Structure formats: C-alpha cells, structure tokens
Amino acid sequence: MQYNHLKKEDEAIYAAAIGEADRQAKTLNLIASENYTSQAVHEATASRLAEKYAEGYPGRRYYSGQEFTNVVEELAIERAKELFGGKYANVQPLSGAPANLAVYFALLEPGDTVLGMDLSHGGHLTHGHPVTLPAKVFNFVRYGMKNIETGEIDYEALRETAKREQPKMVLAGFSAYPRELDYEKFVEIAREVGAVAVMDAAHIAGLIAGGALANPLAAGFDVMTCTTHKTLRGPRGGLILSQVEEIAAKIDKAVFPGLQGGPHMNTVAAKAVAFREAATDDFASYAKQVVVNARAMAAVFVDHDATLITGGTDNHLMLIDVVESFGIGGDKAQETLESVGITLNKNAIPDDERSPMDPSGVRIGTPAITTRGFDTGASRRLAELICNLLEDPDNDALQTDVAEEVASLAADYPIPDSF
C-alpha cells in the first residue's frame, strides 16, 4: 500500500507504518490470533466510509445520508448469514470482546451464572477471568479438561456443574485449546438446565467457514460470536450470529445503543469483503491447509520429544510446555525465537504455576504462514528450526544460521496481495 500523503504530513507515523510492513514481510508469524488480509480488505478499511456516522441499523438510522452505508451493512449481514448458516447477524461489534459483552448484557441479568472454560485449560479472557468487567457483573463457573494429555473435556463434570449451578448460559470456545469440542454435548447440557448455548468461535471462525471444522450453529447453538480477523482473514472486528428472532432482537439492542454508538462503517465494509472471500473454494482449501500444516508441525515437535498439551492438534494451534520440553520459560522461548525472525506468544499451560509474564508454555498457530503459501514441507522445516534453536537457545552461531534460513523462507513465501 502506498502512503504518499502520510509521508508528507507525518513522517514519524509514516516511518512506523512502513517499518511494520517491512517487519511483517521479513519475519514469519506463528501467533495463532493473527493473519494477513487481502489488499481489497485494506482498501475497504481505508475508504471514505470511515467518515460516516451510521448510528442504528439499515433503514433505521438516526442521521441522513445513509444510501451507501445501508448497502454496505446489508451486504455484510447477508454474506455473514450465508457463510455460517445463521438466521440473524449483527456485523457492528468493534471486536471479539465487545461482541461477547453484547451477548452477556443481552441475555443475562447481573448476578446470573455462566458456565465457561477455565482460562488455564485453554479458555478465553472474556469468559469471566476475574480481571475483566463481566466477572464483576456475572457469576462465572468453570469446566476444564479431564485428560490434559488428550484434551478430552470432562463432559460429565460439566453436566454435574450445570445441574448444580443452574447457569443461564453455557459458553463454549477457547483461545489456547488445540482440540475440537463436542458441540452436541454442549447443546444437550444447556437444554437440560434451560440455558442458552453460546459459542465463542473467535479463533476458528475461518476454519468453520471453510469447512475444515464443524459448525456449532448446525449443532444447535443459539448464538455464535467471533472475530473477523484471525483465521477469517478479515479486518479487526467482531460478529454475532444467532438463530432465534427474540435473541437476535435483544443482541441488536445490546450492541446499539447498549454498548456502542455509531459503527465503524469502513470496517463493516471490509468485513463484507472478507465474507465474500471466505465463501470461495480457494478459501476452503486454505482453511483445510491451516489444519494440515498445524498437524505437520505438531508431528515434528513430538518427534523432538516436546510436550504438547493434549498431545497434538485438531485445529490451527498447538501449545507446547517449553519448561518440560526445553528447560526454558515461555518468555525466553518467545524472545529467542523473535530474535531470529519467528513471532509467537508465550502462553500459560493448564494449571500453570508460573507467572503469566513468564509462563511454562508457548502457543503456535499456522493461519498466517498458510496465507503466505506454506505447505507441509515448509511447515515441518520451520518446526525443525524452532526445535533446534530451543534445544540450544544460547548458541550464537546456531541463531545466525536459523535467522538466515527464516529470512530465506520469508522471501520464498511473500505475503500475498490477494487470495
């Protein structure tokens, strides 16, 4: 993208924008929650739609001049519904956390109970961690894995907790869980206790859209939230899909005027573009390759006797106990790999006793490298480089060699402008 006017008006911001583009081009991104977008998504995000207030919904706005914003939002809604099989869609949430907040405040009363995945077992911060706003308003109770080695969720314990706690919402979804959930069991348990079934698909929305993973809405979930970046390859934003008209109406009111004012119409336009891209056969192939690449990398880590939480992966990410595997903490592992051009994130493992700032694990994801065209061979080679370096993290000569090979891979697999 050209930044001619920015260069003239603000050299400092121009330098940062160019620097970030250069950093992305020359490094390999294994952060499971990040990806690249097409140039078309970039252009929609940078369009004049950014300047238009569009408080309300299509046909029910508070300002005039909505001829084109209505077209944009209606297209985004219809494309989202078709992509995921939802009956209703709200495309206005600014990101994943605001989408979850809207669902909570639409469907719950203060003090109501929500049953969600324990953060240390792979759950998400917005699912009731004590530092978050929802935890100050609602009562969150936890479920987790029965077997950390396989990732099996303890569904019987989940059922017993639901019967005991009588939650108003049963919440599925995760940020660091490498396996697929049994959606039918979640729905069954929610129905038993009269709770609404909600899926937070922030991480795997693109894999669902591309048919690489099962669709929670098809399994009977009442609501599904997601981000539109990550595996979906859209702009940073949120989306809420629902299957019940009454629920959809409550969610619309919670988003606006409950939690947000005017939607960011440039981002809504970029979402519409991304939904259109995600409906293609090429995207379906991409989604499947994301999973194939993740499994290929996981196999290499296992070959190196690394400890993978749940023993492998069914989706786009894997979680490695680097303390047990390589004798170093997550912070050093992250810094060591970043020094050679590989970005990932340190991450807690189940029941981690170490600090969140230096946890026992790292999280690795394949969405971004797959967008760059990585196949299983390139993915396996990258995993080999990671293992070699983490096995000997203070070897300066090895760091130099790995950095050179990472730079070569980045050059061989450039970030594409279109998909």
Residues 6 or more apart in contact with residue 208 via CB below 8 angstroms: 84, 201, 214, 215, 216
Which of 146, 236, 253, 380 is labelled catalytic?
A: 236
Q: Is 27 a catalytic residue?
A: no
Q: What are the CA-CA distances from residue 262 to residues 62, 275, 352, 359 (Å)? A: 10, 21, 41, 39
Rounded Cα distance, 263 and 116, in Å: 29
Which of 73, 118, 200, 314 is labelled catalytic?
A: 200
Rounded Cα distance, 391 and 401, in Å: 14
Which of 43, 55, 78, 384 is labelled catalytic?
A: 55
Residue closest to 23 by CA, chosen among 13, 15, 11: 15
Q: Is 14 a catalytic residue?
A: no
Q: Is 236 a catalytic residue?
A: yes
Which of 230, 250, 363, 372 is labelled catalytic?
A: 230
Q: At what angle do helices 376-391 and 396-412 cross, to 10 degrees?
A: 160
Residues 6 or more apart in contact with residue 410 via CB below 8 angstroms: 25, 26, 27, 28, 341
Provide the 3-class DSSP secondary structure of residue 94.
coil
Which of 37, 45, 69, 227 is labelled catalytic?
A: 227
Q: Is 3 a catalytic residue?
A: no
Q: Is 168 a catalytic residue?
A: no
Residue closest to 44 by CA, chosen among 9, 8, 91: 91
Which of 53, 358, 376, 413 is labelled catalytic?
A: 53
8 Å CB contact between 416 and 41 = no
Q: Is 67 a catalytic residue?
A: no
Catalytic residues, by residue number, are 53, 55, 200, 227, 230, 236
